[in-house]
Structures are given as structure tokens and as C-alpha cells.
Amino acid sequence: MKSNKTHDNTAKRIAKRYGGQCNSRKGADIPLPTMTIEVETENTIGDAPRQLQGYRNKVYIATTTKKGIEKAIERAKGTTIGVMNNEGSIIKKSTRKG
């Protein structure tokens, strides 16, 4: 994971909510059996689709701030990627078949 305290805290909070663990290696931050979540700051949202490539279940960008939600929704437009807030609540559902 990136060494950003806000990012790390958000990832831990969401992983706990969904009963998963944070991934510190390459790939998505929170891989779960039913979905995969990539946590991004407002400045790194552009990286999310690449990080979520290859995952076959539902995929989400989780943002660390409210401001980041709009950017994430814009970035996910026209894709199968969903968007979550920093608590793990789904704002836009992933349409990828899971």
C-alpha cells in the first residue's frame, strides 16, 4: 500500500467493515471473495482502473475524502467500476459480473 496515513486508515476501516485484509503487495488494496476495492486519494484516482484490471468480481474505487467521490465517479463513468466513500458505503454500484 502507499505510505499515506489517510489512505492506510481508510483501507483498514473498509477492510474491517467487509471482513477482509489490506494487501501490501502489488494489485488492489482489499481483495475479497465477492469484490475488490482499490483505495485512492483525490490525487491518485486516475491510477485505480489499472490497479483493478484483471479482477473478475465486482470492483470499486474507494476514496479517502468526500471531494474525491466526484472525481472517482467521473473516472468510473463508462466502466464496470463502482465507487465507495471512505467508510465503504457504495455510492455507485459496480456492474462487473461477480
83 within 8 A of 42, measured Cβ to Cβ: no
Position 2 pLDDT exceeds 60: no
Split into its structural domains, the chain has a count of 1
| pLDDT above 90 for 62 | yes
pTM for this entry: 0.93
State the residue range of the domain holding 79.
5-92
Q: 98 lies in a domain?
A: no
Distances (CA, A) of 82 to 3, 4, 5, 25, 48: 24, 23, 23, 22, 11
Judge whether residue 3 has pLDDT over 80: no
Q: Does any domain span residue 68? A: yes
CA angle 21, 41, 49 (to 5 degrees): 75
Residue 97 forms part of a structural domain = no
